[in-house]
Chain A
Amino acid sequence: MFVPHTEEQKKEMLRTIGVSKFDDLLAGLPPSLLRPNLGLPSSLSEMELLRHMEGLAQKDHLAQSYLGAGAYEHFIPTSVWALALRGEFATAYTPYQAEASQGTLQSIYEFQSLIGELFAMDVANASMYDGASAAAEACLLAAKHTERPVILIPETVHPQTRQVIETYLAHSGARIVILPCPDGVLSLETLKKNLGGDTAALLIQNPNFFGCLETNIHEAAAAVHAAGALVIASSYPVALGMISPPGEYGADIAVAEGQPLGLPLGYGGPYVGLFACKTELIRKMPSRIVGQTVDRDGKRAFVLTLQAREQHIRREKATSNICTNQALCALASTIHMSLLGKEGLRELADLNFQKAHYAAGELQKRGFSPVFQQPFFNEFTVRCPVSPEKIADRLAEKRVLAGLPLGPYFKDRADQLVVCVTEIKTKADIDEFAGLLEAACR
């Protein structure tokens, strides 16, 4: 199917090679171990494959979802993937031969520019695996740059991001200190108590895992800088159409899960890690970076640059081991951002904000009161009249996701549910959802 050689051609090729049979090419491979019985089924035709896979997909069909917690359901214009999946983009390799890869290279330069602008940061790289590994690499960078060991992380940072950071930092000499946040946001008092001469960085997520906006973020950033440490800000890209971007409170490194910009939920990936920093950290930044230059005729052109940071040049002394990243996802995001434009991003943020606030009001009327007295963007935590896990189970029977019960993540929050409402929900959807929640408590 994918192999073009006829039997006659294969014989001709073997003759050209100068061997009488194919196995003569396998000298050195242990003959007794060759061609084992794999115990696997035989091939499916494309038609059979589609029927099989569509059947599996159908098992997971869903009616509605109010689950966010790090992965968000946003509308993706049809042109995004129609363009990104063009073979010239999708089936190209990392742009090593720049003359034959200007399409990929220019799109990455545009991606870096758009992300720099989104975060209000100096420079961005070509992408990381996901938001969690971007945060982990940022922590490693901060520890190396400051030569200090402690990374402060409020408990409002996504628990799964914290787990990935733990894995990456396990043998780096750096360690994590978790800051308690009983009010749903980091308090200055808690921060100042933990800041010290050994603090490398504060990692702060805004909006945070409970949906709250970190109200003290400007003051917190100033305090961290006063202690000689770095600020690593993790954001939700869509929220930045409305709320202060990392550059406005002086973040040194900005990271994010880029999924909300044009990538489907897809059970967790492929997503795209966004990573930007201040100019003075460029040469310590992980992953690929594209720069503008000229060709020998003086024509504007783009090329992978500052490669002296990278593993294929520096090997064990590289700033990171990352090689292949998430280029095609970054491209889809670039197209999505270009379609949204300046005004579209602002409008999209407003739709999310308004609809979530309407939903919070409707839920409160039905006995789901807000847990935190903090401003929020499109996600909020409510206290449930009965066990949130029970509610979630009941709604799951109707193929509706109620949100994220917090019990499995925070033992003392077993009565709480985090609900997310994006632009794709209509007023009618929200009203129906509020009714379903109420009914599930009976």
Chain B
Amino acid sequence: MPLTQIPAVPGIVETLIFEKSVPGRKGVPLPALDVPRTAAAALPEKLRRKKPAAWPELSEPQVVRHFTRLSQLNFSIDTNFYPLGSCTMKHNPKVNDRVAMLPDFSALHPLRPHTLSQGILEILFELERWLCRICGMDAFTLQPSAGAQGELTGILVARAYHESRGQNRPLVLIPDSAHGTNPASVAVAGLTAVTIKSAADGQVDLGDLKAKLTDQVGLVMMTIPSTLGMFEPRIQEIAAMVHKAGALLYMDGANMNALVGLLRPGDIGVDILHLNLHKTFSTPHGGGGPGAGPVGVKKELEPFLPVPRVAKDAGVFRRKFDRAKTIGRVHGFQGNIGVLIRAYCYMRLQGAEGLLEISENAILAANYVRARLTPLFPKMPKNPCLHEVVVSGEGAYGPGVKTLDVAKRLLDYGFYAPTIYFPLIVPEAMMIEPTENESKETLDAFCATMEKIIEESKAQPDLVKNAPHTTPVRRLDEVKAAREPNLRYALR
């Protein structure tokens, strides 16, 4: 842990930027006005701001030190193993940031005519083509800003498709192991989510699916592989059932890191999917975005994708707006282009052969961790997993110790915690996704630490229950945060 020095103020790790402010200081000098002030340039009093925004007043070095010190309070991929399941915390190549920030890309106004944006349009056109090839789909929209907006886009496309055929299908089937965004996106699209049960093995309960797959169902949303890190072996059978019922199969592609290069979702019957470029395709998570959630579809759904679409006519790239069946726009302009550029760079660096390396090594690493941890967890899955392993902590720890405590104790050893208590169907769940980038030495160190923590949980349960001990702050009072919301610094 790159621990910053603890400053002199007791009870405070790093003072707020407002607490460093002294009236009269400036962080950025602006050029002097070089045009004459004219009488015409006077703002009517009524429209004038009455009280200035009391932003803090600091010098540039103070600002630099403040944010550098804040950064040092974070765990990150660059500094720590970050096995956060379902989030695919892989290495984010620095060259991608460099390319995305090239001055000519930075200066690109989103409403530029196509004649002055051939470079960027070529990138978007090519990125769409790469995603189609990797996923076995016929078209992609790059517009959605994140996975959840991709889901909403995909659901709206499915709805528009059914309506264009005169069908009203208000129900969407979703397994109980799904991400919370799935049902939330269904609700925004004005449809109703219906939960499908999981069987004992964590796969979809086929009987329950069959019973619920009526002519009211327009879409079945499945995370492939599932949030348990398992591939559904009957997926082609399920796809056939879904299609026979007149519905479409949607794939939540959050876990695409398990399949990239190995299996194309389009080949197993998926009609619509979204990807999370900030997971599978290495763009930085940024502490919670920006992401990108492109949506891929089969040919018959292409007319419904958001506008604008990028097309190539006689060697010239253009943006096309004239699409009668489009669901409309989901972004004010064209999407999170800087994220898309980074993902495109990543694919070009990997190339066809490197794409396969991603999934194979991610699967290898997850199974290695599964094997190494098997002696510690009585409920460890016996069968191979794909890119992540989900284990229940039940029966593994000492008296009164929970998965939450073990997760917090990991922080003391410099490992970010796995995803915990998700999926909801696994009690005391811990979801570990090591990705293809972590060395065997790191995986060994992580597994050895897990063993040590489990020993501690039996010998000194309070040590684990009170963890973390070495982080800049210890466990937080979340109840106080919610009951007495303090969401903003009280300025003066």
Contacts and interface: CB of A to CB of B under 8 A. Distances in A.
B199 interface: no
A60 B16 contact: no
A163 B332 CA distance: 8
B452 interface: no
A58 interface: yes
Nearest to A101: B74
A289 B417 CA distance: 22
B182 to A, nearest CB: 8
A291 to B, nearest CB: 4
Interface stretch (B37-45, B205-213, B392-400, B453-461): B37-45
A350 B33 contact: yes
Nearest to B84: A93
Nearest to A77: B28
Contacts of B47: 213, 215, 217, 243-244, 375
Nearest to A8: B440
Contacts of B23: 342
A53 B60 contact: no
A129 B335 CA distance: 9
Interface stretch (B241-249, B262-270, B295-303): B262-270
B454 to A, nearest CB: 19
Interface in B137-166: 145-149, 151-152, 156, 159
A372 interface: no
A97 B53 CA distance: 32
Given A35-B356, A130-B145, A95 B30 contact: no
Contact of B332 (A87, A131, A328, A426): A131
A169 to B, nearest CB: 10
Given A100-B471, A172-B188, 5 more contacts: A16-B371, A60-B120, A67-B109, A170-B190, A312-B180
A354 B267 CA distance: 60
Contacts, number: 699
Contact of A46 (B12, B95, B133, B355): B95
Given A17-B371, A163-B329, A316 B193 contact: yes
Nearest to B234: A28
A318 B180 contact: yes
A269 B136 CA distance: 27
Contacts of B57: 341-343
Contacts of B2: 88
Interface in B29-79: 30-31, 33-38, 40-41, 43-44, 46-58, 60, 63-64, 66-68, 70-79
A136 B364 CA distance: 43
B476 A351 contact: no
Interface residues of B, number: 210
26 contacts: A19-B384, A22-B360, A34-B262, A60-B117, A65-B109, A90-B97, A91-B77, A92-B75, A92-B76, A101-B75, A102-B73, A103-B73, A113-B18, A140-B188, A171-B189, A241-B53, A266-B100, A268-B333, A299-B473, A316-B193, A325-B146, A331-B286, A338-B66, A343-B57, A357-B41, A392-B113
Interface string B266-293: 0110000000101000001111111100
A300 to B, nearest CB: 5
Interface in A110-154: 110, 112-114, 116-118, 120, 122-124, 126-127, 129-133, 140
Contact of B74 (A10, A89, A297): A89
Contact of B231 (A28, A50, A288, A301): A28
B75 A100 contact: yes
Interface string A49-73: 1101111111111100101011101
B123 interface: yes
A268 to B, nearest CB: 3
B92 A56 contact: no
A230 interface: no
A306 B101 CA distance: 35
Contacts of A268: 110, 331-335, 337
A327 interface: yes
A97 B276 CA distance: 21
Contact of B361 (A5, A322, A335): A5
Given A129-B146, A329-B289, A354 B488 contact: no
B70 A107 contact: yes
Interface string A73-108: 100010101011111111111111111111110110
